[in-house]
């Protein structure tokens, strides 16, 4: 259901807070070194990342039931996300978005979408082996690609294995 004025206002305030929090967190990560990958390309609005929006929690936070419940309630009542799955092993909370229309692949409240939607797929840049959705028109590019290409060539790997490694490392 499309966001009304009150929900838009609440989401806007939340975006300011979350934006500041995200910027601070990224600054701390930068101080420890640049992420291994950089992002290229632009979003074509394919909607793949809207099918099952996912929040990954650190294990210690996932175990705090009250924190988890609050987060789920926030996403339900403010962001229109309904919990589908809580995976203890990976710390993932997987949602269904009530703003997403699977037929048109469109968001009915795009202007007020939450920070996690605006930020995707940047969190992947901090993972060891980022995997984009097949239809995503972004690209993650390994920063030290030339050095890695040389190292892979030196390994004399079978072509299929080399192709899979190159794909997963964003070298193509």
Q: DSSP for 46-98? A: --HHHHS-EEE--HHHHH-HHHHHHHHHHHHHTT-EEEEEEETTTTEEEEEET
Site for ligand SF4 contains 140 (CB under 6 A): no
Site for ligand SF4 contains 93 (CB under 6 A): no
Least CB distance to ligand SF4 at residue 26 (A): 18
Stretch that binds ligand SF4, among 16-24, 27-35, 55-63, 112-120 (CB under 6 A): 112-120
Whichever of 3 and 35 has its CB closer to ligand SF4, that residue is 3
Which residues from 52-71 bind ligand SF4, rule CB under 6 A?
53
Nearest to 49 by CA among 9, 99, 14: 99
Asked whether 19 and 53 are in contact (CB, 8 A), the reply is no
Site for ligand SF4 contains 43 (CB under 6 A): yes
Kindly give, in sequence order, each residue whose CB lies less than 8 Å from that of residue 150, ignoring residues fewer than 6 positions away: none
Of the candidate residues 138, 142, 169, 170, the single one contacting ligand SF4 (CB under 6 A): 138
Site for ligand SF4 contains 161 (CB under 6 A): no
Kindly give, in sequence order, each residue whose CB lies less than 8 Å from that of residue 134, ignoring residues fewer than 6 positions away: 48
CA angle 84, 85, 89 (to 5 degrees): 170
Whichever of 36 and 79 has its CB closer to ligand SF4, that residue is 79
Site for ligand SF4 contains 113 (CB under 6 A): yes
Whichever of 59 and 118 has its CB closer to ligand SF4, that residue is 118
């Amino acid at each position: 259901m499309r966001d009304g004025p009150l929900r838009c206002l609440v989401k806007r305030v939340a975006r300011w807070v979350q934006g500041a929090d995200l910027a601070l967190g990224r600054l701390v990560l930068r101080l420890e070194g640049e992420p291994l990958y950089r992002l290229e390309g632009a979003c074509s609005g394919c909607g793949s990342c809207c099918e099952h929006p996912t929040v990954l929690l650190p294990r210690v936070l996932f175990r705090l039931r009250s924190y988890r419940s609050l987060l789920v309630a926030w996403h339900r009542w403010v962001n229109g996300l309904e919990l589908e799955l809580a995976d203890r092993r990976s710390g993932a909370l997987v949602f269904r978005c009530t703003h997403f229309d699977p037929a048109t692949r469109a968001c009915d409240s795009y202007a007020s979408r939450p920070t996690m939607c605006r930020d995707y797929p940047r969190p992947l840049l901090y993972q060891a082996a980022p995997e984009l959705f097949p239809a995503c028109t972004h690209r993650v590019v390994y920063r030290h690609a030339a050095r890695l290409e040389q190292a892979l060539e030196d390994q004399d790997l079978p072509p299929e294995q080399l192709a899979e490694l190159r794909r997963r490392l964003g070298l193509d």
